[in-house]
Structure 1
Amino acid sequence: MPLLQICRQCRPSVSRFAVYSAPASSRQFSASQALLARRVKKSPGLTKKALAAKANKKKARRNIFESEKMTLAEAVNVLRAVEVGSSNAMYELTVKTAMPRGSAIPKGRITLPREPKAKEKDRILVFAEGRAAEDAKKAGADIVGGAELVDGVVSGRHQATLILCTPALIRSITPRLGRILGPRGLMPSERRGTVTDDVSGFIRRLQGTNEWKGDKAGTIRAPIAKLDFPIEDVVKNVRHFLGVVKRATGNQRDLSAQKNQKKGNAPVNAITRVILSSRQGPGIQVSDI
């Protein structure tokens, strides 16, 4: 009997035994715990202007000597004061070049007036035959042979820090060794002078020299002197190294080279900055270069 048809006096007693049935149209609720879905707002990405400002702020975090230029002698004195507790520290010279389009990565060999560290002996491999092979052996080449050495170079059995070749054999070794030695900077080439008939003379000129080489951005780094060197010796080493780099990058030309080469034949790779630093000291830009 519906609850509404019972009188008010009997309703309390009957309501204890009546079973209430919900209408069929009522909403059924689950007994499980309700989960609240919260929409997480994604933070908007930085605009191009904000990214540029962030990059400029990062670049601005440099040492106090970044915008200050010093003479070479003053830079040496500052670094010596910073490294007062490290007698074995080494001065490092960093030369940054502009690297215009069409310019080659600067590289070369040098003998400093006073070497900062012992010279590492090169292990020389020479592709030559006949009289050139005999002269290479007498000059001090470690491995000498013809095209039969190619398999040993490919497999890694023949290891070398310098590879020379005569013009007669360069075409026979290039197809197999170009992809292997090229990325390592060891492939003989006429531009570097490692493809030559005068192999023995090239080896003799290498004795007592060290190789220097820039990276893809045109930055050259080289240990230039020890901390306990007199200031005069450090200055001589820096001047001598900069002279070699200037000639290799076209900033300074020899008179003999100007006579033999046409003007403007090779692009000039301008030197933009010269920085002297040490192991624990700051990088100081040199003004009198």
Structure 2
Amino acid sequence: MMLSLLFRQCKHSPKNALGQLRLFTTSQILLARRHQQPKIRVPSKKALAAKARRRAGIASKADEQTRKLTLLEAIAVLRAVEVASPNSIYELLVKTEIKNGVAVPKGRVNLPREAKPGAQEKILVFAEGRQAEEAKKAGAHIVGGPELIDGILSSRIRATTILCTTSLIRTITPKLGRFLGPLGLMPSERRGTVTDDIAGYIQRIHGTSEWRADRTGSIRAPIATMQFPIEDVVRNVRHFLTSVRRVTGNYKDADSDRKGKATGAPATKISKVMLSSRQGPGIRISDF
């Protein structure tokens, strides 16, 4: 009886109860570990560079396996496909690899033989005084000063080409920069549309058509019709590609070398050229 009583007292003693309580509690460190979120592993710059190289290698192998034809072979294939459609048009696609922060390629070209009538040009010029009179005589459709800004912002005044004199560019930039910039219409010294020789610029662009890349760097242009002799198609393609090379910095001559040294801008790579038609396939060109 005495032993049983002592056992019961020990069993229900506060000290033993505390020991049992400890079996069901967890320290703060264990609780913190239990609720700790798993760490997200951030790859290093070296790992990211290696991954980019692997992707580039895979893309390069896939590109090598793609079937390519010479320009003359591509023209022959498309002519055979479009034999019943003599008015069908060849379309040229030039893919450029533009990088972040680099303006999309844009230029003008005067093809030796136009594939189809181009859209009517509408030239707007920001100029005042004598320069405004010269612009009107040169054939500008709309000429004026800062009073034209509100009409442009409200889309009451529209133009395909906008030029500006050097004295007004700082006046119009704060209000028109964000509006005309995404449209590719904001006057720029780099593109030559900010100039005091307005008449000379208008004369230079007379009879030319504008080409412009989209946000992915792709340039599409109608280049010829099936009725054209093969020599004319080849001449148009070569002429257009020369214009693109000059703008992207891939054409080497005295003028482009001087401009490249002055601006320090790297060349924009031309990665792909394709020729297609309405019913024909897109054919990669090997000799561009």
Amino acid at match of 1:92: E
Which residue is 1:172 aligned to?
A: 171
**So what's the TM-score if we normalise by structure 1?**
0.74
Query: How far does residue 186 in structure 1 lie from its aligned partner after superposition?
Result: 1.2
The residue correspondences of 1:241-280 to structure 2 (distance < 5 A) are: 241-259=240-258, 261-262=260-261, 265-280=264-279
Give the direction of change, closer, same or farther, for the CA distance of 1:188–1:79 in structure 2 (3 Å limit): same
Task: Give 1 or 2 for the bigger CA radius of gyration.
Answer: 1
How many pairs align? 225
For residues 98 and 120 of structure 1, the distance between their equivalents in structure 2, rounded to whole angstroms, comes to 28
Which residue is 1:99 aligned to?
A: 98
Which residue is 1:222 aligned to?
A: 221
Whether the 8 Å CA contact 2:126–2:146 is kept in 1: the answer is yes
Query: How far does residue 133 in structure 1 lie from its aligned partner after superposition?
Result: 0.2
More helix by share: 2
For residues 118 and 263 of structure 2, the distance between their equivalents in structure 1, rounded to whole angstroms, comes to 36
Query: How far does residue 153 in structure 1 lie from its aligned partner after superposition?
Result: 1.5
Corresponding residue SS for 1:268? coil
Which residue is 1:114 aligned to?
A: 113
Which residue is 1:130 aligned to?
A: 129
Query: How far does residue 264 in structure 1 lie from its aligned partner after superposition?
Result: 8.3
Q: Is residue 286 of structure 1 aligned with residue 248 of structure 2?
A: no
Corresponding residue SS for 2:261? coil
The residue correspondences of 1:28-47 to structure 2 (distance < 5 A) are: none
- Deviations 1:48-98 (CA, angstroms, capped at 9, x unpaired): xxxxxxxx9xxx9xxxxxx21111111001001111111211000111122
For residues 256 and 86 of structure 1, the distance between their equivalents in structure 2, rounded to whole angstroms, comes to 42
For residues 118 and 142 of structure 1, the distance between their equivalents in structure 2, rounded to whole angstroms, comes to 20
Whether the 8 Å CA contact 1:87–1:227 is kept in 2: the answer is yes
**So what's the TM-score if we normalise by structure 2?**
0.74
The gaps in structure 2 that reach 5 residues or longer are: 1-57
For residues 77 and 102 of structure 2, the distance between their equivalents in structure 1, rounded to whole angstroms, comes to 35
Amino acid at match of 2:185: L
Whether the 8 Å CA contact 1:102–1:267 is kept in 2: the answer is no
Query: How far does residue 157 in structure 1 lie from its aligned partner after superposition?
Result: 2.1
For residues 117 and 76 of structure 1, the distance between their equivalents in structure 2, rounded to whole angstroms, comes to 18
Q: How well do the aligned residues superpose, as a CA RMSD in angstroms?
A: 1.8
Corresponding residue SS for 1:262? helix
For residues 174 and 140 of structure 1, the distance between their equivalents in structure 2, rounded to whole angstroms, comes to 24
Amino acid at match of 1:248: V
Return structure 1 stretches of 4+ with deviation > 6 angstroms: none
Identity %: 62
Query: How far does residue 184 in structure 1 lie from its aligned partner after superposition?
Result: 1.4
Give the direction of change, closer, same or farther, for the CA distance of 1:280–1:188 in structure 2 (3 Å limit): same
Query: How far does residue 261 in structure 1 lie from its aligned partner after superposition?
Result: 4.5
Amino acid at match of 1:169: L
Give the direction of change, closer, same or farther, for the CA distance of 1:73–1:204 in structure 2 (3 Å limit): same
Query: How far does residue 257 in structure 1 lie from its aligned partner after superposition?
Result: 3.2
For residues 244 and 102 of structure 1, the distance between their equivalents in structure 2, rounded to whole angstroms, comes to 22
Whether the 8 Å CA contact 2:249–2:260 is kept in 1: the answer is no
Corresponding residue SS for 2:77? helix
- Deviations 1:173-231 (CA, angstroms, capped at 9, x unpaired): 11221222122111111111111101111111110000001112211111100011111
Q: Is residue 237 of structure 1 aligned with residue 236 of structure 2?
A: yes
Whether the 8 Å CA contact 2:126–2:143 is kept in 1: the answer is yes
The residue correspondences of 1:66-215 to structure 2 (distance < 5 A) are: 67-215=66-214
Whether the 8 Å CA contact 1:124–1:161 is kept in 2: the answer is yes
Query: How far does residue 258 in structure 1 lie from its aligned partner after superposition?
Result: 1.8
Give the direction of change, closer, same or farther, for the CA distance of 1:104–1:155 in structure 2 (3 Å limit): closer
Give the direction of change, closer, same or farther, for the CA distance of 1:263–1:204 in structure 2 (3 Å limit): closer
For residues 223 and 105 of structure 1, the distance between their equivalents in structure 2, rounded to whole angstroms, comes to 19
- Deviations 1:117-172 (CA, angstroms, capped at 9, x unpaired): 11322111111001100000000011111111112222222221111111111111
